[in-house]
Each structure stands twice: as structure tokens, then as C-alpha cells.
Amino acid sequence: MGIFSRKGSSGFSSSSTAEEVTQGIDGTALTAIVTGASSGIGAETARVLGLRGVHVIMGVRNVAAGTEIKEAIVKEIPSAKVDVMELDLSSMASVRKFASDFISRDLPLNLIINNAAAATPFMLSKDNIEMQFATNHLGHFLLINLLLDTMKKTAKESGKEGRIVIVSSDAHKFTYGEGIRFDKINDETGFSNFKAYGQSKLANILHANELARRFKVDFSANFSINVLILLCFSVGFYLQAIDEISLTYRLIDCAICFPRAHKQEEDVNITVNSIHPGTTVTNIFRHGGIFNGIVQTIGKFVFKSVQQGAATTCYVALHPQVQGMSGEYFSDCNLAKANDQARDIDLAKKLWDFSMNLVK
């Protein structure tokens, strides 16, 4: 990748590695969940976060494979704090158990990195959802919803910004014409495993954008309420000075009632961003037959290494340059532009409602 790379405004490029983009960053006060951390980009993400002092919870489907990665990390970095927990994102029961087990540990939660992904032929999950949509989007959607209160609590008590990083892909540009096949999500008719993968990656960006939008709405609503309260009190004190005491009391009563209605929406110090890791040689297309063979054969010459593939994830998770940025799409550790469908607010809202109905 080196001869084709050029540094962007962040100072990093497609050739940058996860270690390089996190150099000098101290993550010792942070706790992160990394899904799909038993191989590829997820394993490298866990390793580099561990290197920077982050307490890493590896959410993995294959606990034995995850334990091997953990042992390798700790052998290389004796100070690394890494735990392995079982998580099958294609199963809502497994996601709920993982979240429940994590919460029972009473740990803080600063970072969620939704890295796990599958690229499969047509098959249904245990919950009768198309497997790629279930694993790549829906399981992560449910996971975040279940752990959001823990993240909010951690952000508020620590004063540190919480960050959610959703690993998408430029494959979001190669989905079905309508973007998301809401009415045919589980229909084998017209199914394409490559388009289904693109659909799930589009869903990742839409999910990130909608969650970020909801956080911003929460903050704006709370800010507006606070301004209204100040105005009410200011007007109230002025009217009191001219003996309009009864109106003053009414204004104060009105002002006091507003924060009660919005209490659950306040102090959301969490950002949500999606990223494209770059085309990387991993085992994600292990079900792809000849295509997988081609990727594994020539990929090492034209694609990113795993160390480079994990760079954007680690950059968005830890780097101070990203402080306060939310609802953005990153590639090669720089801001990038997703396609029009990925930036469609109405489509994002529709996906949110659709997903909520599926996880009920």
C-alpha cells in the first residue's frame, strides 16, 4: 500500500498501522468491548488497545480461538488486561446473555467497537433472520441498546467521552437498488451474498448516523430547556421587581417542570462513528470459494495488512483528533464521504424502527 498512499489532514494514510496512529496515547483508564476479536482486524484492534493500556473485553463466538489470541497478547504485552467472553451476534439470546454478564461484572464501559462481520451464502440465523443482516447489523444494534445505559453512566461519572465505533465498509455502495430490502430481508428470491453483505454494511452506517443524530437531538433539547429555564427565571425576577409576583411563580413552576420530562435524555457524552477499514486480507470471505482463494493469493500484494486494516478503528476509538466528532464516516484515518443512501436520514430512521421491531 505504501507507494499508493498519501497522508490526509490527520497526518495518517492508508499505510499507517494501528500502532502508529495510537503512538503515545494512554488508554489505561478505559474499558472497551471489541466484537469479533478472535481473528483479523478485531484481534489486532484488541492487541493494540491492550498495548495502550485499555482493558479489553473480547466478544467472540469461538471462545477457544479468542483465548488463544488473549494468551498471545498477554505473552507479548504482560501488562495487557484482556478478558474473553462468548458472544454470537447472530443470536439475540447470546447477545442478551453477553450484555447481562457484562453488566453483572459492574465494569465501566468507555468504548464499544462493533467489528465482527460475516459474509455467507443465504442462510437464516437462529432467530430466522438472514445471517449477514443478523450478524453484521442486528446483533450489534441490540448490543448497543442493551449497554447504552452503562456507557452513559461511565461517561457521566468519569467525565470522559464515550465512543462507539461501527466497522462498516465501502461495500455499502454495492447493495440492492433500494438499499435495504425491508420487505424481503429474509427472502432467498433475488438474494445475492455480495449485495447482502453490502446491505449489512449500509445498515452499519445508517445505524451509526441515526444513533449520533439521536444523541445530538438529546443534547440540543436539553440545552434548549436550560436556556428556557434561565429566561423564565430572568423574566420572573424582573416581574417580581415590579410586584407581578403571581406571574413570577407561574413562570418558575413552568420552568421547573421541563427538566423532569427530559431527565432521561440529558448528559449524553458519547460519539458514534462508522469506518471503512480498507480492503484487508482476512478470513471474512472464507465461505466465498474461488473468490476467497483469489483474495488470499493476490491480496497480500495489493491489499492492506491486518495492522493497517485496524488503524482506522483504533484511530477513531482513541485519537484526540476525533474528540467531539460524531455521525461521521472515516477511511484511512481521515474523514471520508459515504454514498447518498448511507446519508439518507429517512432511510436511517426507517432502519431504526425496523430493527427495534425485530429485537423486541
Cell of 270: 458519547
Cell 457524552, residue located: 269
pLDDT of residue 225: 46
With 0-12 CB in 10 A as exposed, 13-18 as middle and 19+ as buried, what is 223? exposed
Query: Over 50: is that where the pLDDT of 213 sits?
Result: yes
pLDDT greater than 70 at residue 295: no
Instruction: Indicate whether 259 pLDDT > 90.
Output: no
Catalytic residue among 168, 274, 331, 355: 168
The pLDDT-based confidence of 217 (bands split at 50, 70, 90) is confident
CATH code, 2-221+268-359: 3.40.50.720
- pLDDT beyond 80 at 282: no
| pLDDT tier for residue 281 given thresholds of 50, 70 and 90 | confident
Q: What is the mean pLDDT of residues 7-19?
A: 98
More confident: 359 or 223: 359
> For the residues 75-86, what does the mean pLDDT come to?
99
At residue 329, the pLDDT reads: 99
> Is 168 noted as a catalytic residue in this protein?
yes
Q: What per-residue confidence (pLDDT) applies to 168?
A: 99
Read off the pLDDT of each residue in 134-148 and give the average, rounded to a whole number: 99
Q: Average model confidence (pLDDT) for the chain?
A: 87
- The answer to whether residue 249 is catalytic is no
32 within 8 A of 39, measured Cβ to Cβ: no
Q: What is the pLDDT of residue 263?
A: 37
What's the pLDDT score for residue 248?
A: 41
16 is catalytic: no
Q: Which of the two residues, 298 and 335, has the higher pLDDT score?
A: 335
Question: What is the rounded CA–CA span in Å between residue 291 and residue 191?
Answer: 18
pTM for the whole structure: 0.84
pLDDT at 167 over 90: yes
In sequence order, what are the residues at sequence separation of 6 or more whose Cβ sits closer than 8 angstroms to the Cβ of residue 238? none
Please give the pLDDT value at position 293. 55
Which residue among the candidates 201, 304, 329, 355 is catalytic per the annotation? 201
pLDDT at 12: 99
Mean pLDDT of 178-196: 97
Q: Domain coordinates of the chain in residue numbers?
A: 2-221+268-359, 223-261
Residue 223: the pLDDT is 46
pLDDT of 102 > 80? The answer is yes
Residue 251 has pLDDT above 80, yes or no: no
DSSP per residue, 257-307? HHHHHHGGG----EEEEEEE--SB--STTTT-THHHHHHHHHHHHHSBPHH
pLDDT at 272 over 50: yes
Task: Note whether 330 and 342 are within 8 A (CB).
Answer: no
